[in-house]
Amino acid sequence: MTEHEKQKSKHKLYKSEESNNISMLPGDLQGSPDESLNSTIVFIDEGFLGKLSKHFGKGKYLKFNKIIFAQNLCKKERLNCKNILYYTSPPFQGNIPTKDEELKKEGYDRFIRKLNRSDKITIREGRCQRIKSEEKFVYKQKAVDILLAMDLMSIPINFPGMKRIILISSDSDFVPVVKFLREKGIRIILYTYYESKRNTPFSRSNYLIKSVNKYVLLTKQDFQDSPLK
């Protein structure tokens, strides 16, 4: 075979026999990855993640880098992190905010400003509602789950090539959306946490776990592997 024939034959290959890159683009001899096969978006339910951070910190929130945390989970799944969507709500503010409420809001605003400096993460904010229950106040996020569900539903339209997503949550309310996405050919990888013992704030949601393609239990090490600079 002449040199010209060798080169011509080489360009017909999908990939070389020596290559172990299973996601390269057809005809791309440089082996560039096919973004439609290995890209992902990470959806973070901060209500759940913050609660878990405080649990692992034994009453104190663990300090960790949210962006590195999400990117590390993508690496575990051998996926490229295309974007991170972070769902949260600012702390409650009364009609006449107390000093404590003002300090919490100032701290929250500083945190959000730091996150917004990165183009790798998108902040989606709901609101915080205060409810009086048994002579004490209970604070709950409102509209956050709706925002997250809306963004999940829009994936087939806004990201038609997306085949896998990572969801960090424990809320079974997302099951109908998960089923919808799976019908569209999108695989859902759930990162969550539960304990089998009784009287725990983290009970197992079989309904959610059974609805996804794969689930992984988060550990304290996942937080520790994402340190703040």
CATH of the domain at 132: 3.40.50.1010
> Is 34 part of a structural domain of the chain?
no
**What is this structure's pTM?**
0.79
- Segment 102-109 mean pLDDT: 87
Q: Which of 155, 127, 132, 156 is nearest to 143 (CA)?
A: 127
Does residue 97 or residue 191 have the better pLDDT?
Answer: 191
> Is 24 part of a structural domain of the chain?
no
pLDDT value for 64: 95
**Distance of CA 70 to CAs 12, 20, 75, 81, Å?**
38, 26, 9, 8
Q: What angle do CA 154, 156, 157 make, to 5 degrees?
A: 65
> Is 217 part of a structural domain of the chain?
yes
pLDDT value for 1: 56
Amino acid of residue 76: K
> Max alpha carbon distance in the chain (Å)?
89
Of 97-101, 111-115, 117-121, the poorest mean pLDDT is in: 97-101
In our burial notation (b when 16+ CB lie closer than 10 A, e otherwise), range 212-227 reads: beebbebeeebbeebe
- Segment 162-172 mean pLDDT: 95
Q: Cβ(48)–Cβ(190) under 8 Å?
A: no
User: Has residue 196 got a pLDDT over 70?
Assistant: yes
What is d(CA 224, CA 100) in angstroms, rounded to the nearest whole number? 29
Q: Which domain holds residue 91?
A: 42-224
- Segment 180-199 mean pLDDT: 91
Task: State the pLDDT confidence band at 3, using cuts at 50, 70 and 90.
Answer: low
Number of separate domains in the chain: 1
> Is 202 part of a structural domain of the chain?
yes
> Is 131 part of a structural domain of the chain?
yes
What is d(CA 209, CA 15) in angstroms, rounded to the nearest whole number? 37
> Is 124 part of a structural domain of the chain?
yes
User: Has residue 34 got a pLDDT over 60?
Assistant: no
